[in-house]
Structure formats: structure tokens, C-alpha cells
Amino acid sequence: MTRTVDVPLSEIVPTEEALVRALGGTPDQAAGDRVRRLLGDALDELRALAEPRGIFAEVDAREFAGIYEGAGDNEDPSPLLEIFARGDSIALFAVTVGAPLSDRIAALFDAGEPALGATLDAAASEGTELAGAHLDRLVLSEAREEGTANAATRVLRYSPGYCGWNITGQRALFAALGPEEIGIRLTESCLMEPLKSISGVMVMGPAEVHEFESDYRFCSDCRTKICRSRIRALKTRDPEGDDDGDPGHDRR
């Protein structure tokens, strides 16, 4: 069954500290009046313009195998190909913070206000990731209530365009999930509009389910190696009790 949810605005507004980190700075760099004003203005705009929504649908491993296969463009082997079969349950998902934010970011750059534009862009990316983290907690807490997950269950998101899942996988994902219902559409080149959106699959299971060695052919080109911190974080925290968000794949 496919479900849509309105994500509470309070869940998607990052702290000033997180926003400074997202901009590549350190907390002491937020001390100046000008920077503090910029951060405050960007967070005010985020609160005023964000329309955070999510959609998700549970699928079984066989269904997901067909969706993952897509047009046959994925790397083989790839981490997700191993992981989803080991998971206890799988859900397709998409989240967005809405079109008005992306429009406002573009307008700020067009109007020659790159500082606020870049800060709002970073705030919107953080907000999108926090919306994804909200969905993680929601899906996990419902699974625990239903008895299909327990205290050791963890959830991790994987997105087309990363770690061997070809970006063209968006087409099969969209066909199965229908994120158009929450205002996300796919372009010819498989980018999402609004840009501040994340889509993919949530895999639930014990932390060990998500473990793998990052020695795939394509890993040598990877700048972030973010899988390492994602896997480490799973072992140290319960997403239901953590509102700091997952170090997500898909920061836009």
C-alpha cells in the first residue's frame, strides 16, 4: 500500500550549527554578526517556503529485484544487490521540501544574492535529508508497533545514482511508487524536480544487513566513501531516538 505523509516543518529545520557544517564551516565561523544574520535569514526562508512531503510503499524482495534491475544499467556486483535480499523488509520512498524553495534559490542567484542563495540551498538540502530521516523514524516506529521490527532493527536508505545503482533506475522506481502524487516529477535525464527531493529504497533489518566492504569496481572513483560512516552510525544509534538525520547518500 502506498502512503503519503506531510512532514512536520519542525522536523526539517536544521540547527545553525548543522547549517554551518553543511556549508563547509566550523561552529566558530557562525559567531560573526553578518554570518549569523545570513543563517537566520536562510532558516526563516526555509520555514516560510518549505512544503515537506513524503511517500512510501512497502514491496517484497522479488518486486524490488525487478525495480532495481530497471533498464539493466546497474553495476554488477553492487552493494544494494546483496543488501536488499538480506533485509527484513523493504520500502520504496521519496521526499521533497517542495518547489517554492527551489524557485526561491534560483531567484536569489538571478538577483545577484549568491550568499543568501547558497545558504538557502544548503539549508534546503539539509531539510530534505531531515525529511528523509523523519520518514525513516516513521516507518521504523510503525514496523515496531506492528511487531515486524524490534529494538535491533535499523533502516538505511539507498538511492539511484549511487554505489552502482544507475540513475536510470529512477524510471522503474517512479513507475512503481508514483512520487508525482507529492509533486515530484522525473526529467528526461532522470533528475528530480523539485531538485530538493530524495528517492530510493529503505532497507530494514539488523545493522549487520547493511555491512559490506567498499571494494567494488566503482569505489575507486568515490570521493566521499560515505558508506563507511553510514554503516558505523547504524551500530551506535537508534534512528527513532535520533533527530540529527542520517548521513544520507543523496545530498543535493
Nearer to ligand SF4, 79 or 117 (CB): 79
Nearer to ligand SF4, 132 or 179 (CB): 132
At residue 2, φ and ψ (nearest 5 deg) are: -90, 135
Q: Does 218 bind ligand SF4 (CB under 6 A)?
A: yes
CB of 219 to ligand SF4, least distance (A): 3
Number of residues binding to ligand SF4, judged by CB under 6 A? 10
Binding-site member from 48, 111, 152, 222 for ligand SF4 (CB under 6 A): 222
CB of 212 to ligand SF4, least distance (A): 7
* Strand-pair partners of 60: none
Binding-site member from 2, 4, 168, 214 for ligand SF4 (CB under 6 A): 214
C-alpha separations of 206 from 59, 60, 118 in Å: 18, 17, 38
Nearer to ligand SF4, 23 or 163 (CB): 163
Helices 169-177, 61-69: inter-axial angle, 10-degree rounding: 140
Q: Does 225 bind ligand SF4 (CB under 6 A)?
A: yes
Give the H or E element holding residue 97.
Answer: none
- CB-based burial of residue 102 (10 Å sphere; 0-12 exposed, 13-18 middle, 19+ buried)? buried
* Strand-pair partners of 156: 203
3-class SS of residue 100: helix
DSSP state of 237: -
Q: State the alpha helices, DSSP H only, in 51-168.
A: 61-69, 79-86, 99-110, 114-146
CA gap 27, 24 in Å, rounded: 10
Instruction: Compose the 149-168 pattern: x for residues touching ligand SF4 by CB under 6 A, - for all others.
Output: --------------x-----
* Binding to ligand SF4, residues 72-101 (CB under 6 A): 79
CB of 163 to ligand SF4, least distance (A): 3
Span of 23-31, 65-73, 82-90, 212-220 interacting with ligand SF4 by CB under 6 A:
212-220
Q: Does 219 bind ligand SF4 (CB under 6 A)?
A: yes
Binding-site member from 140, 202, 227, 234 for ligand SF4 (CB under 6 A): 227
Q: Does 217 bind ligand SF4 (CB under 6 A)?
A: no
Q: How many helices (H) and strands (E) does the chain have?
A: 8, 7
Span of 56-64, 123-131, 134-142, 216-224 interacting with ligand SF4 by CB under 6 A:
216-224
CA gap 149, 147 in Å, rounded: 5
Q: Which residues bind ligand SF4 (CB under 6 A)?
A: 79, 163, 214, 216, 218-219, 222, 225-227
